[in-house]
Amino acid sequence: MVSPVPPHELPDVLELVRRLKEARTRYNVRVRFKDGREENGAVTYVERLGRGRIINVDREFALDFAIDDLAEIEY
């Protein structure tokens, strides 16, 4: 069972954008969502739209996300 991230633990949106820009050059990153889900894979991100996608080639899985859905990006 996943649990939501408490609001006081959420990073600033500008910090998330900065980390997403860096994550685009990485082969594998972990994205944690506000609702508690976590996904691993490569990330695409379009800053002007505030939207992106995480792609896991091994699992043949892709998930679209909005910047407002994210809690953390690890690489």
The Cα 20–Cα 14 span in angstroms is 10
Over residues 39-68, the pLDDT tens digits come to 999 999 999 999 999 999 999 999 999 999
CATH class for the region spanning 7-74:
mainly beta
Per domain, the residue ranges of the chain are 7-74
Over residues 22-45, the pLDDT tens digits come to 999 999 999 999 999 999 999 999
What pLDDT score was predicted for residue 10?
A: 66
Query: Which of 39, 62, 49, 55 shows the shortest CA–CA distance to 17?
Result: 49
